[in-house]
Protein backbone atom coordinates (compact mmCIF):
# COMPACT_ATOMS: atom_id res chain seq x y z
CA UNK A 1 0.00 0.00 0.00
CA UNK A 2 1.29 3.47 -0.85
CA UNK A 3 1.12 6.22 1.74
CA UNK A 4 0.18 9.68 0.52
CA UNK A 5 3.25 11.95 0.47
CA UNK A 6 1.35 14.79 2.17
CA UNK A 7 0.22 12.46 4.95
CA UNK A 8 3.79 11.28 5.45
CA UNK A 9 4.94 14.90 5.67
CA UNK A 10 2.33 15.61 8.36
CA UNK A 11 3.40 12.48 10.23
CA UNK A 12 7.03 13.60 10.08
CA UNK A 13 6.12 17.07 11.39
CA UNK A 14 4.11 15.55 14.24
CA UNK A 15 6.95 13.19 15.10
CA UNK A 16 9.43 16.04 15.15
CA UNK A 17 7.13 18.20 17.29
CA UNK A 18 6.63 15.40 19.81
CA UNK A 19 10.25 14.27 19.75
CA UNK A 20 9.35 10.72 18.73
CA UNK A 21 9.92 8.61 15.63
CA UNK A 22 7.71 8.43 12.55
CA UNK A 23 6.97 4.81 13.43
CA UNK A 24 5.81 5.83 16.90
CA UNK A 25 3.40 8.38 15.41
CA UNK A 26 2.09 5.77 12.98
CA UNK A 27 1.67 3.27 15.83
CA UNK A 28 -0.25 5.83 17.90
CA UNK A 29 -2.53 6.54 14.94
CA UNK A 30 -3.07 2.84 14.31
CA UNK A 31 -3.88 2.31 17.98
CA UNK A 32 -6.52 5.05 17.91
CA UNK A 33 -7.99 3.63 14.71
CA UNK A 34 -8.21 0.13 16.18
CA UNK A 35 -9.69 1.42 19.44
CA UNK A 36 -12.31 3.40 17.52
CA UNK A 37 -13.12 0.46 15.26
CA UNK A 38 -13.49 -1.97 18.15
CA UNK A 39 -15.95 0.32 19.96
CA UNK A 40 -18.41 0.43 17.06
HEC string of the chain?
Answer: CCCCHHHHHHHHHHHHHHCCCHHHHHHHHHHHHHHHHHHC
CA dist 18 and 28 (Å) reads: 12
Per-residue pLDDT, 39: 77
Q: What is the pLDDT of residues 1-40, one digit of tens each?
A: 788 999 999 999 999 999 999 999 999 999 999 988 887 6
Q: What is the pTM of this model?
A: 0.70
CA dist 40 and 32 (Å) reads: 13
Per-residue pLDDT, 40: 62
Domain count, the chain: 1
Per-residue pLDDT, 37: 86
Range of the domain at 31: 5-39
Distances (CA, A) of 12 to 3, 8, 17, 30, 40: 13, 6, 9, 15, 29
Amino acid sequence: MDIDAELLERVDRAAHAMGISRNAVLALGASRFVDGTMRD
